Amino acid sequence: MEKIVIEGGHRLEGTVAVSGAKNAALPILISTLLTEGLNTVDNVPDLRDVRTIKSLLSDLGAKVETSGSVVKIDAGGLNSYEAPYDLVRTMRASVLVLGPLLARLGRARVSLPGGCAIGARPINLHLKGFEELGAMISLEHGYIEAKARSLKGAEVYFDVVTVTGTENLMMAAVLAEGITTLRNAAREPEVVALAEALNCMGGKIAGAGTPVITIEGVEALKPTSYTIIPDRIETGTFMIAAGVTCGNIKIVGSEPNHLRAVIHKLQQTGITVEEEVDGLRIIGTEAISSVDVKTLPYPGFPTDMQAQFMVLMCLAKGLSVISETIFENRFIHVSELQRMGADITVSGNAAVVMGDGRLTGAPVMATDLRASASLILAGLAASGTTEVSRVYHIDRGYECIEKKLAQLGGQLRRVPA
Ligand code: EPU
């Protein structure tokens, strides 16, 4: 086990590059299961979740080769339809193999993910959608068994906007017979990226990025080359790192159009966000204003940025109400921030933050990726030393975060716990 030790109070300055998006890389790597032949996926971040998916693909019979950020996958030898409990429990996104395995083999057996630190996170809408495409679903011994002689296009309506649900259904429908319409579909840039990748393989998907996605099934897909989009949550995390240290940084390789809600809120706090040709410049302010935030499906404010934004609000002067509408238990960072002196009261799905412009270093830990990121940000801003333990959560979704922040002048290092 390792921890990250941070000496707070140093302004961040300089340039940092953003990695490929975790939540685009995971479904796109999995989508290669839909083809026979060699796919090349570029700008793949080196993350624990990505390594988990690569070993799942290998277990299923695909050949996977990695060279830097390029991953080559040939799923011609696909010979298994099972995602075991040990893998799914470490990464819920493994359920994304359901769609491609059903489409290609007519069968999938995937461990039902349990609850997770941020909420119950059911996959009932994925399963209902597969049933609408003609699959038979049963649950036995903790495993979802999905079978379909052939999948047929259908109308699928999502009661709740679900990102991986939309992605799973797109991957199943792309090889189904006839037309599938997904209504109340997720509009996240990662959904659009997956649709683009599938279309490069010969899929016929229209409307990705809107609430109605239409998929005209095709007989087969062919292998392709695809470059993963920049990680908008990593970008947003660096933006807040500049904000909480009153820094001045440039984030290269970012896509501002994927971050409009976050940019808008940051500007309301008094932070300067300038769009330059090759990225974003963020200039902090000594006088951060409090603003309210409500998490929503894209293009609303992302739940994956809520914990980090809360740290910024701890450093503002005044009251901020942060409402979490996506996950029921995504305030696990609050008690850790309270240990650093934050004045936060949680009532239902709202956290009331009484900012007083300062935090003090303390030993902290969190059981969720984005919560852990928020504690690193808090440590950068706090006076004194902060030790963030259980950093394996961070390694699930941020590539070399301590190195990138250190390159900007942050005083932090990873040490054995
Ligand atoms: N939901 C259902 N039934 C379903 C599916 C979802 O009730 O069948 C509910 C969930 O319980 C939740 C809401 O719908 O309350 C939205 O969940 P969604 O399905 O959209 O989440 P997800 O697809 O499991 C992805 C990201 C998460 C991100 C959420 C929301 C990936 C691999 N994961 O999860 O990313 O928070 O969308 O934007 O894309 C992270 O990167 O740290 C992370 C947790």
Q: What is the DSSP string of 5-55?
A: EEE-----EEEEE--B-HHHHHHHHHHGGGBSSEEEEES----HHHHHHHH
Convert the pLDDT of each residue in 248-294 to its tens digit.
Answer: 999 999 999 999 999 999 999 999 999 999 899 999 999 999 999 99
In 314-390, the DSSP E strands lie at 317-323, 344-347, 350-356, 363-365, 385-389
CATH 3.40.50.1100 holds for 2-19+230-416: no
Residue of 48, 164, 258, 374 to mutate, ligand 1, most atoms within 8 A of C-beta: 164
Report, as residue numbers or ranges, the catalytic residues. 116
Q: 326: Cβ below 6 Å to ligand 1? A: yes
Convert the pLDDT of each residue in 383-401 to its tens digit.
Answer: 999 999 999 889 999 999 9
**Distance between CA atoms of residues 139 and 389, nearest Å:** 37
Residue 200 tokens, joined: 């490069």
The whole-number pLDDT of residue 115 equals 63
Just give the CATH number of 22-227. Answer: 3.65.10.10
Convert the pLDDT of each residue in 83-131 to its tens digit.
Answer: 888 888 888 899 999 999 999 999 999 998 866 777 778 899 999 999 9
- Cis check: omega of the bond before 297, within 30 degrees of 0: no
Reported pTM = 0.97
Strand partners, 138: 145
DSSP 256: G
Q: Where in the chain is the domain with CATH 3.65.10.10?
A: 2-19+230-416, 22-227
Nearest CA to ligand 1 atom 35: 304
Is residue 155 within a helix (H) or strand (E), and if so which, with residue range? strand 155-157
The whole-number pLDDT of residue 284 equals 98
Q: What phi, psi does 354 have (nearest 5°)?
A: -100, 95
